Amino acid sequence: MGNTVLVVEDNEINRSLLVMILEETYHVLEAGNGREALEILKDPKNTISAVITDLIMPEMDGYQFLEVYSSSPQFVNIPVIVSTSQSDSESEVKCLEYGAWDFIKKPYNAEIIRFRVKNVIERSELYVLRKLRYQEQFDTLTGIYIQNMFVQQTKKLLRENPDTDFMILHFDISQFQVYNSVFGRREGDKLLCHIADLLRKLEEYEKKITYCRVEADAFCICMPAADSEFIQKMMDEFQKNFRSYQRDYNILANVGVFYIEDRTVSIPAMIDHAKLASKECKGSYIKNYHIYTDQMGKSIEEAQSIVSEMERAMKEEQFVLYLQPKYGLANYRLAGAEVLVRWITPEKGMVSPGKFIPVFEKNGQIMKLDYYIWEHSCKLIRSWLDRGLEPFPISVNISRVSLYNPRIVEEIHELTLKYDIPAKLFQLELTESAYTDNPESIKKAMRQLQEYGHTILMDDFGSGYSSLNVLKDISVDVLKLDMKFMAASGSENQKKSESIVANVIRLAKDLELPVIAEGVEEKEQVEFLSSVGCEYVQGYYFAKPMPVAEYNKLAFKV
């Protein structure tokens, strides 16, 4: 008795009769109304093969039960047979509308009931089997292959055409989530189906082709290799079609191209290469396709190598603190330093921060690196204090990722307690853009850190689009102004940029906020900043980032 049938009937005599008819063949569960039936169906211990329900019942009748049943995806494969003494077609139509599979009439005929239950169970099992087989091969929304079938069919295509050169195209829609937000999920699904239809039309012109929906708005095509001119022409046709399909939105496609030169490379790896190439044209309105190069692959391998080496590098303390001095413009004397990090490996020497920082930001490992830098900075301050020195404050960076750490305030405060250092010597730098990502939680965290005695610096002030708004909403102690603002000396925009910088510094003075200008490289910049009242500078004109030993000589003459 592998199958279980649920009988839903408030009349005990009728329910007992149905149980007696079925129990020789099936395990039978009973419910007195629709509500009880739903509880039994929802119980994960019960695997129901079929339901027989009466229509007229208290609490929740058969119609109400069917209405809930038809709108519940988890019940869709469980056949429901309606038991009724009514013979009007209107009742039958209503039941069928709600998803009923069959009917049995009262008074009951035992043989008919057994056959009808057997038939609906077999039909449902066949339906589920067919559905599973379909889902193993085809995307349920668009009706084209899923990736697994694409891989199989592409292998077959390459095997059957050894003398034809092929390419893999990875195709997706730029800002598809925005399209969904503007027009709704249903319209987004219609667009995906439209794209699938376009791929089917390609098959009318090119027989040596396979295609699939990879995920979300991403599709893949394998077809005979073509030159850039052909690819651009194909993309132009797609864009032309999209303009006529949706005139109220500029649908922009991105395509990555991978030419198949080595057929021993796995098809999934080819797809990954094409996907990587497609990212190179994200957001570009000029060129919407990109061809994969070996350098892209090397970049991925390099990133993977960086990630795999990180843990060992931390244990061996290969990440080394460098300090870039800050100077006061009133007397041109040292006033502190910003902590930067350098990765010095035994095998490769120094690894550029421009290589490893973006990788760590992308995979979330930047949080570990942040904490490592904070702790080593606290250790450094402690070492200065233990030697009886009077250190200037040093500032550390807090990455955008670390700001999402709910324990950030506790972690920083616990470090200052652990190493017994004054919070005023341990300053914190956040980029302006980080403030705009999660303003309420950041505002609260910064306020708590200020209460503990830390100085908060807003880094890259003016580089975003909401600088003044951020300044209004969040309490900071110091502004850091990037001198990328400044046009080169003698350029036609020099006066404009100087006017902007002068006004930013004037605004900061009105708010009683000191300004540190960073990236200062020229004598003329120093003279200008001094003339408009900037208090501090940082940059190569005064000093490059330097190892701790070199900074010690500069700051303490030791």
pLDDT tens sequence across 456-496: 998 877 665 445 666 776 778 999 988 876 655 556 677 88
**Half-sphere exposure of residue 307, counting CA atoms within 13 Å on the CB side?**
14
- Least confident interval from 123-137, 198-212, 326-340, 403-417: 123-137
* The pLDDT of residue 466: 46
Mean pLDDT confidence for 85-107: 83
Range with the poorest average pLDDT among 134-143, 428-437, 514-523, 531-540: 428-437
Question: Which residue, among 71, 67, 32, 25, has the nearest Cα to 50 in the 3D structure?
Answer: 25
| Cα–Cα distances in angstroms (integers) from residue 456 to residues 9, 202, 307, 431, 463, in the given order | 70, 58, 30, 11, 18
pTM score: 0.56
* Band of pLDDT at residue 498, cut at 50, 70 and 90: confident
Mean confidence (pLDDT) of the chain: 88
Average pLDDT over residues 494-520: 88
Element (H, E) at 406: none
- Asked if the model's pLDDT at residue 438 lies above 60, the reply is no
Q: pLDDT confidence of 91, banded at 50, 70, 90?
A: confident
- pLDDT above 50: residue 418: yes
Q: What is the pLDDT of residues 19-78, one digit of tens each?
A: 999 998 999 999 999 999 999 998 888 889 999 999 889 889 888 998 888 888 778 788
Are the C-beta atoms of residues 480 and 518 closer than 8 Å to each other?
yes
Query: Higher pLDDT residue, 175 or 454?
Result: 454
How far CA 237 is from CA of 13, 90, 209, 253, 259, in Å, comes to: 70, 51, 18, 11, 21
Report the pLDDT value the prediction gives residue 437, as an integer from 0 to 100.
55
Picking from 101-110, 247-256, 277-286, 333-342, which range would have the lowest pLDDT averaged per residue? Answer: 277-286
Is residue 283 pLDDT above 80, yes or no? no
| 8 Å CB contact between 32 and 78 | no
Examine the pLDDT at 17 and tell me if it is beyond 90.
yes
**Rounded distance between C-alpha atoms, residue 400 and residue 430, angstroms:** 8
Is 256's pLDDT higher than 60?
yes
CA 496, CA 500: separation in Å to the nearest integer?
Answer: 6
Report residue 31 as tokens.
């419910």
pLDDT higher at 170 or 440: 170
Spatial CA neighbour of 370 closest among 419, 337, 321: 321
| pLDDT of 430 higher than 50 | yes
* Higher-confidence position of 487 and 8: 8
Both tokens of residue 157?
């295509």
Residue 384 pLDDT: 97
- Is residue 107 reached through a cis peptide bond, with omega within 30 degrees of 0 on the bond before it? yes
What is the pLDDT confidence band of residue 257, given thresholds at 50, 70 and 90? very high
Q: Of 268, 316, 335, nearest to 478 (Cα)?
A: 335
pLDDT value at position 548?
96
pLDDT at 405: 84
- When pLDDT is averaged across residues 315-331 and rounded to a whole number, the result is 95
For residue 175, the model assigns a pLDDT of 83
pLDDT for the residue 465: 47
- For residue 438, give the 3-state DSSP assignment: coil
Q: Please tell me the distance from the alpha carbon of residue 225 to that of residue 295, in angstroms, as a whole number.
A: 21
